[in-house]
């Protein structure tokens, strides 16, 4: 609506109708795709004057969907490009009221900015004196145990494999948490049946196979 105010310069119109999403994780990718779809299917029809000005740009420091497998990343890149999302690799170093500044000095004027660079470990998780996984999550071994505290297990977004396990980074997704929950329920039942239930008993029991995350779906999607 603002861009329809008479007397605006072409440049100002383009700025107002430039939607920028920062962060190419699942949320940023999903949002950019939906926004572009909304623009192509609805906005352009209702507000014909915006047709040549409105754009969606997704800015990501590395690769989009970096915690997912390669085929899914390629698929998402293709779909986003097809639906008109402009993908930019860059690191935002400053946000001004009407423009972003990237580390290479590029200025990106915007009318709408969606910041979607993910969530980090909470101050409480950070304060725990357990070894941490890359990314600062509670470090766990292949059986989801915190090695320095034998009766402590950690699952879900707060935890990640210790680097020493050589296991890949777990995507912070509900499906991972759900699978870990099921695995851990079985493991605790096994420990209980095998005479566990006492402090440190996890150490004396044969734990069986380690936790394994298997992707499902033709693109290896965990969602
Ligand atoms: C916008 C968005 C979209 C997403 N979409 C998807 C999707 O489509 N598919 C998918 O698989 N995943 C998705 N996810 C990720 C998914 O939500 C998380 O991976 C999942 O919720 C992790 O589960 P969790 O139990 O580890 O943590 P949470 O769901 O965050 O639960 C942790 C709980 O612990 C509580 N808590 C925290 N600290 C304390 C404390 N000190 N004492 C007591 N309680 C505490 C919190 O209040 C919270 O209720 C999405 C996430 C976001 C943000």
The secondary structure of 71-90 as a DSSP string is: HHHHHHHHHHHHTTEEEEE-
Which numbered atom of ligand 1 lies nearest the CA of 172? 19
Predicted local confidence at residue 215, as pLDDT: 52
Predicted local confidence at residue 163, as pLDDT: 94
- CB neighbour burial string for 132-152, b if at least 16 within 10 angstroms, e if fewer: bbeeebbbbbebbbbeeeeee
Which numbered atom of ligand 1 lies nearest the CA of 157? 26
What mean pLDDT is reported for the chain? 90
Most confident of the following: 4-13, 193-202, 205-214: 4-13
Q: Please tell me the distance from the alpha carbon of residue 79 to that of residue 93, in angstroms, as a whole number.
A: 28
Q: How far is the CA of 89 from the centre of ligand 1 (A)?
A: 28
pLDDT in tens, 135-174: 899 999 999 999 888 789 999 999 999 999 999 888 888 9
Does residue 90's CB lie within 6 angstroms of at least one atom of ligand 1?
no
Query: Mean pLDDT lowest for which of 36-40, 46-50, 207-211?
Result: 46-50
Does residue 80's CB lie within 6 angstroms of at least one atom of ligand 1?
no
Structure tokens at 111: 């009318």
**Which among 151, 125, 140 has a CA at the least distance from the CA of 211?**
140
Decide if domain 2-115 falls under CATH 3.50.50.60: yes
**Which among 27, 21, 1 has a CA at the least distance from the CA of 85?**
21
What angle is formed at CA 29 by the lines to CA 106 and CA 126, rounded to 5 degrees? 85
Does residue 108's CB lie within 6 angstroms of at least one atom of ligand 1?
no
Predicted local confidence at residue 35, as pLDDT: 95
**Which residues of the chain form beta strands (DSSP E)?**
18-22, 55-60, 85-89, 92-95, 99-102, 107-109, 112-115, 138-140, 159-161
Could you state, in order of their start, the residue ranges of all structural domains in the chain? 2-115, 123-203
Whole-structure pTM value: 0.75
pLDDT in tens, 100-140: 999 999 999 999 999 999 888 999 999 999 999 988 999 99
What angle is formed at CA 118 by the lines to CA 149 and CA 28, rounded to 5 degrees? 145
Residue 192 pLDDT > 70, yes or no? yes
Name the residue at shortest CA distance from atom 26 of ligand 1: 156
Name the residue at shortest CA distance from atom 14 of ligand 1: 173
Query: Mean pLDDT lowest for which of 41-55, 77-91, 118-132?
Result: 41-55
Residue 220 pLDDT > 50, yes or no? no
Average pLDDT on 212-219 reads 59
Structure tokens at 110: 């915007």
Q: Please, are residues 135 and 169 in contact by the beta-carbon 8 Å criterion?
A: yes
The pLDDT-based confidence of 219 (bands split at 50, 70, 90) is very low
Give residue for tokens 């609805």. Answer: 42
Q: Ligand 1 pocket: which of 21, 23, 25, 26 to mutate (most atoms <8 Å of CB)?
A: 26
Q: Ligand 1 pocket: which of 65, 174, 217, 220 to mutate (most atoms <8 Å of CB)?
A: 174
Q: Please, are residues 162 and 172 in contact by the beta-carbon 8 Å criterion?
A: no
Q: How far is the CA of 60 from the centre of ligand 1 (A)?
A: 23
Does residue 156's CB lie within 6 angstroms of at least one atom of ligand 1?
yes
Residue 198 pLDDT > 80, yes or no? no
């Amino acid at each position: 609506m603002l861009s329809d105010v008479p007397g605006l310069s072409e440049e100002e119109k383009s700025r107002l109708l430039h939607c920028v999403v920062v962060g190419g994780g699942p949320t940023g990718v999903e949002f950019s795709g939906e926004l572009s779809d909304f623009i192509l299917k609805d906005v352009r029809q209702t507000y014909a004057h915006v047709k040549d000005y409105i754009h969606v740009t997704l800015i990501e420091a590395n690769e989009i969907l970096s915690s997912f497998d390669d085929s899914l990343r390629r698929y998402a890149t293709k779909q986003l490009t097809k639906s008109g999302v402009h993908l930019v690799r860059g690191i935002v170093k400053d946000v001004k009221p009407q423009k972003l500044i990237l580390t290479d000095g590029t200025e990106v004027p915007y009318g709408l900015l969606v910041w979607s660079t993910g969530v980090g470990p909470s101050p409480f998780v950070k304060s725990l004196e357990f070894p941490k996984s890359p990314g600062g999550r509670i470090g766990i071994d292949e059986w989801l145990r915190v090695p320095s505290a034998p009766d402590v297990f950690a699952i879900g977004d707060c935890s990640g494999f210790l680097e020493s396990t050589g296991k890949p980074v777990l995507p912070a997704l509900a499906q991972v948490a759900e699978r870990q929950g099921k695995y851990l329920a079985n493991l605790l039942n096994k420990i209980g049946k095998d005479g566990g239930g006492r402090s440190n008993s996890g150490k004396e029991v044969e734990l069986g196979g380690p936790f394994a995350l298997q992707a499902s779906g033709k693109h290896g999607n965990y969602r």
